[in-house]
Chain A
Amino acid sequence: MNKYTVQGATGEFEVVIGLEVHAQISTQSKLFSGSSTEFGAEQNTQVSLVDAAMPGMLPVPNMECMRQAVRTGMALGAQINKYSRFDRKNYFYADLPQGYQISQLYHPIVGEGEIEVTLDEKDPDSATKKIGVERIHVEQDAGKLMHDQHPTSSYVDLNRCGVALMEIVSKPDMTSPKEAGAYVKKLRSILRYVGSCDGNMEQGSMRADVNVSVRRPGEELGTRTETKNVNSIRFLMQVVEIEARRQVDLIEDGGEVVQETRLFDPNRMETRSMRSKEDAHDYRYFPDPDLLPVELDDAFLEECRSSLPELPDEKRERYEKELGLTAYNAAVLTAESETSYWFEELLAQSVERTGKSDKDLAKQCANWLLSELFGALNKLSVTLEESPVSPSQGAELLSLVADGTISGKIAKDVFEIMLETKQGAEQIVEEKGLKQVSDTGAIEAAINTIIAANEDKVAQYRGGNERLLGFFVGQTMKAMQGKANPQIVNEILKKKLDS
């Protein structure tokens, strides 16, 4: 793969990218209070006395949040810190009732790890790259200000205030928009496998701060800017591109990149300065005296480890080696946890119904899922979770093909009907009389009629035009309304024509 560079008037520039991903931890209640974390509730209905920072209120850590952070760290092969501590980050803002955010600066719960990304997921032989993870720490989210509700006042919604976030800090190991995109995609996939974050970027449960700097090849790292709260992978890649371009132009015009916080405006496709280093807050971090250090024992860590599911990289390898799937299919099936769980359920149910081995059925299941089902879902514009057909219904259909009850072609029609009527495959096949005919007598009779009606073509075939076999197969299937067992049709036709 070509190295990504930004071409300036005076030469090429390399780009260096580091990401801070904020992932909302999937828990029922907030990091330090019992309030619900459900998305979309009416404003200020999920706010406890602690969240509103009433006088005398105290935080109590929700250990489930720590557990999910530890499991995430383990999934990244990261160092787990048995001793961690919460610190206060002090600043005033109306969406921050305490006047400080409880975070982990000095002693984060997870240390260094790494993520292996595939740079081109469409290409099974694509290069891979390891991106370092610096740390993961756990912290509170802030509330939300609304400036459009009143002509002169702002409103604040504290529902999100105190919700647990993991901040996953990468090393500055990425050098192109594509790498940055692949990193976030892979990270999101792992979080969803682990179950520690739903990865839903539209709802804000995952967002990234993007650090970008440029330099001429071989030079020291340039000054970086940080673009805050980027909430889609597409935007993230655009931010890298736009920000790198802006920095290169600035440098070539004799200017200097200033270390600052910027905002991305997707409508105008530009980043804008939010505050410079001079205006940066002095956050006055110090250990939160309301909270004891978090000390994790071996039993806790062991539970975290043993409750981890099979992760995408291991899964992909198993699909290739044990199920005999192509590298491409294995990659696509494992990229999202939902797809792989759907596939595994489909396969397991098919095995149960047919008594065949999973290796025998894996390819058929994979192909059907990736082409037929995904095609249908695409047309319906729904996600896999919203699929009108369940894995068990899919298995019912595929088993009918596997045991010869219907042909693959009929299966496509049956599937169409399933999507429309929500009926089961067996019922549809039964009611519509779609069972494949394997009765050699009936097939032979049809073939005899066709041969008799097409003597010229029989002669051409026998004269060496073997491609005409397809014509005879087609005619036979047509006569049999598509229900003839194609294998038997082939056998009888060959016997008759070749004799």
Chain B
Amino acid sequence: MTDITELGIAAIRDGVAGGDFTAVEVAEAFNANIAAALALNAFIVETPEIALNMAKSVDDDRAAGKELGKMAGVPIGMKDLFCTEGTQTTAASNILGGFVPQYESTVSANLWKAGAGMLGKLNLDQFAMGSSNETSAFGNVISPWRIGGGNNAPLAPGGSSGGSSAAISARLCPAATGTDTGGSIRQPAAFTGITGIKPTYGRCSRWGVVAFASSLDQAGPMAHDVRDCAIMLESMAGFDPKDSTSLDLPVPDWEAALNSNLKGKKVGVPREYRMDGTDQDILDSWDQGIAWLKDAGADIVDISLPHTKYALPAYYIIAPAEASSNLSRYDGVRYGMREVPEGANLQDMYAATRSAGFGAEVKRRIMIGTYVLSAGFYDAYYTQAQKVRTLISQDFKAAFSECDVILAPTTPTASFPLGDKDKDPLSMYLNDVFAVPASMAGLPAMSVPCGLDKDGLPLGLQIIGNMLDEQSVLNAGLAIEERAGFTARPDKWW
């Protein structure tokens, strides 16, 4: 029998449905891999019992002849930004230390309804703020990838969904949830040689997901391949009346409509994404991607997204502004950490609790956000950034009148050693320079692995689609996946 942990969502789903193995066997196999991979620090909480119980109920349903869900028997990792009823949820921050929600996020509830099981809560950058998973209060996640040739420096799995990317890449789970505010699904997927898609803003409910920047936050699947992402996104998405920004639209059958023949499709290549500081390997992989899509039948068109260079600065105004307000609720009054120094009044308690509870990067963003919303600065920063955001959306709107999808690199470099950029926030932020524009415009965007760089580290290509057109993104991703034949994997050292 093959090692079950080598399989992805579709294979496990089909194997369980066909009786090749039981859901409990699947859960046991992944539980074992997780227990053996503590060195990666991918999980904050492991929940092997929950995984087994959920698997057992799938096996029981199958035995009883009941109809099985889209992800029946597939155990997954849950990014610890999703509130899970009865299981600690921390957003990787001390301020939520020991917090156990009495409610289940809509996205996780949808996944359980589809038959998926929970292996544990995945580590992440604190409050999803970071690009290397170095801001977690629970320690760094270590990428399973290494440069090799004797260089054993621990590498960044990307962020903020770094626990998710590391766990999938190391076969600790076949798939995991991610959230993407400015690249937090795509960048870690690219760094670890897996696939991840951020759907159109509003596809997945934000209810029960710890908020970072409400107008940008969007959940999405991370998995081994395009088909698995399509299956999992179908299970996650859907209208939720509890989220006012949720889209009241039916969920398309993305898996069934997968088609890598791009004949008649136009692929836009944005000239502004050829930026200084981008690795030659990345530029080469982009050219390779263009060739692959041509080979799949697509026409390549040169497009312009003129406001691209303003996207990152505007993002680092809007996202911190929203975060500074969203994180106000962590005040020590009702749940989570509370610090009350001797003789403290209410203000002292706030200051002590928030000083002790938040990490440095979270504090930095709260300070930036507070500053840009302050009287006298609001128009110069926040209003201006919103205008830029509108212009970026208009750029994309114009571009999609000329093409069906856009092809670009996911990141300007491959993964980097932990500790390389954490003292220099700006160079860290630049990691998301290609990812942020699609977030600002609320567009679906995906990263698929396309090869290795000169150091043997994975690289990703990004496909950006028009509003609600996840299908074209998935199809173009599939075309690349088929041609890239990406089978590289990290040597097991953990």
Contacts and interface: CB of A to CB of B under 8 A. Distances in A.
Interface of A: 49, 52-61, 88, 90, 92-94, 97-100, 154, 156, 282, 284-286, 289-292
A94 B209 contact: no
Given A60-B242, A94-B346, A284 B373 contact: yes
B328 A55 contact: no
Given A60-B243, A289-B322, 17 more contacts: A54-B101, A56-B206, A56-B209, A56-B210, A57-B208, A58-B207, A59-B244, A90-B324, A92-B350, A94-B346, A98-B328, A98-B329, A99-B327, A284-B378, A286-B373, A289-B215, A292-B245
Given A286-B373, A289-B213, A99 B331 contact: yes
A56 B329 CA distance: 10
A82 B308 CA distance: 34
11 contacts: A55-B210, A58-B243, A60-B241, A97-B329, A99-B328, A282-B375, A285-B373, A289-B214, A289-B215, A289-B322, A290-B211
A57 B240 CA distance: 13
Contacts of A289: 213-215, 322
Contacts of B209: 56
Contact of B370 (A55, A61, A156, A284): A284
A290 B103 contact: no
A289 B385 CA distance: 14
A286 B325 contact: yes
Q: Which 10 A-B pairs have the closest CB atoms?
A: A99-B328, A289-B214, A284-B373, A289-B215, A53-B329, A56-B208, A55-B210, A290-B214, A56-B83, A282-B375
A100 B211 CA distance: 14
A285 B378 CA distance: 9
Interface in B226-248: 241-245
Contacts of B429: none
B207 A56 contact: yes
A468 to B, nearest CB: 83
B373 A90 contact: yes
Contact of B325 (A60, A61, A99): A99
Contacts of A284: 324-325, 370, 373-375, 378
A94 B214 contact: no
A344 to B, nearest CB: 41
A59 B241 CA distance: 10
Nearest to A53: B329
Interface in B324-359: 324-325, 327-329, 331, 333-335, 346-347, 350
B78 interface: no
Contacts of A291: 244-245
A129 to B, nearest CB: 36
Contacts of A90: 324-325, 328, 373
B334 A97 contact: yes
A227 B457 CA distance: 66
Contacts of A53: 329, 334
Contact of A56 (B105, B245, B327, B378): B105
B382 interface: yes
Contacts of A154: 346
Nearest to A99: B328
Contact of A97 (B103, B207, B333): B333
Interface in B361-389: 370, 373-375, 378, 382
Contacts of B83: 54-56
Contacts of A56: 82-83, 101, 105, 206-211
Contacts of A285: 373, 378
A55 B325 contact: no
B137 interface: no
Given A94-B346, A284-B373, A289-B322, A58 B244 contact: yes
B103 A54 contact: yes
A10 to B, nearest CB: 37
Interface of B: 82-83, 89, 91, 96, 99, 101-103, 105, 206-211, 213-215, 241-245, 321-322, 324-325, 327-329, 331, 333-335, 346-347, 350, 370, 373-375, 378, 382
A58 B241 contact: no
Contacts of A290: 206, 211, 214, 244-245
B354 to A, nearest CB: 9
B315 to A, nearest CB: 13
A282 B325 CA distance: 13
B81 to A, nearest CB: 8
Contacts of B378: 284-286
A438 to B, nearest CB: 70
A292 B242 CA distance: 13
A224 B373 CA distance: 26
Nearest to A282: B375
A197 B373 CA distance: 34
Contacts of A282: 374-375
Given A56-B210, A57-B207, A100 B242 contact: no
B101 A55 contact: yes
Contacts of B325: 88, 90, 99-100, 284, 286
Contacts of A93: 346
Contact of B382 (A49, A57, A286): A286
A99 B214 CA distance: 15
Nearest to A290: B214
Listed residue (B82, B91, B102, B328) with the most chain A CB atoms within 10 angstroms of its CB = B328
A79 to B, nearest CB: 25
A216 to B, nearest CB: 32
B124 to A, nearest CB: 14
B373 A94 contact: no
Contacts of B373: 90, 284-286
A99 B99 CA distance: 19
Contact of A55 (B91, B244, B322, B375): B91
B93 to A, nearest CB: 10
A416 B23 CA distance: 82
Given A99-B325, A286-B321, A290-B214, A55 B346 contact: no
A292 B246 CA distance: 10
Contacts of B333: 94, 97, 156
A448 B213 CA distance: 99
A31 to B, nearest CB: 12
A286 B482 CA distance: 46
Contacts of B244: 58-61, 290-292
B329 A55 contact: yes
A292 B209 CA distance: 18
Nearest to B240: A58
A34 to B, nearest CB: 10
A127 to B, nearest CB: 42
Contacts of B329: 53, 55, 97-99
B350 to A, nearest CB: 6
Nearest to B345: A154
A49 B103 contact: yes
A252 to B, nearest CB: 34
Contacts of B375: 282, 284
Nearest to B376: A282
A44 B321 CA distance: 31
A55 B104 CA distance: 11
A156 B349 CA distance: 15
A55 B325 CA distance: 13
A143 to B, nearest CB: 10
A93 B208 CA distance: 24
